[in-house]
Amino acid sequence: MSRKHADRSVRLFLPPDLRNALQAHHVESGRKSVADTARRAIAAGLSGGYRNHGVAVPASGRGIAVALPRDTLAEARAVAAETGASLPHILTQALAAGLNFP
């Protein structure tokens, strides 16, 4: 997935423990980039149905730019509209679900 599509690229600020879990999963998976690992985990987390994992979403910090496919982004936006939560919150919870983060 290319980051050339600015309308599908989202910058996520992750708490340190979730960032560490993502990095560990990235090393295990052997994928090209952390963003690719995050994209796949977000898609997996959303496919299982949205569930709030209670992961706090920091307002700033070291961010990661994740380019999402149209259908994944549309699904996340629909969940955000339905729940009233922000898109970064939904994506962070989906990432946590996709990584089986406690």
Of all residues in the chain, the percent with pLDDT exceeding 70 is 94
Residue 8 confidence class, pLDDT cut points 50, 70, 90: confident
Q: 3-state SS of 14-74?
A: CCHHHHHHHHHHHHHHCCCCHHHHHHHHHHHHHHCCCCCCCCCCCCCCCEEEEECCHHHHH
Each residue of 52-97: pLDDT tens digit?
A: 777 788 877 778 999 999 999 999 999 999 999 999 999 999 999 9
User: 5's torsion region: left (phi>0), alpha (psi -120 to 50) or beta?
Assistant: beta
CATH class of 6-98: mainly alpha
Band (pLDDT 50/70/90 cuts) for residue 3 is low
- pTM here is 0.87
Q: Which two structure tokens, joined as six digits, stand for 22?
A: 């993502």
pLDDT in tens, 10-26: 899 999 999 999 999 89
Q: Where are the domains of the chain?
A: 6-98
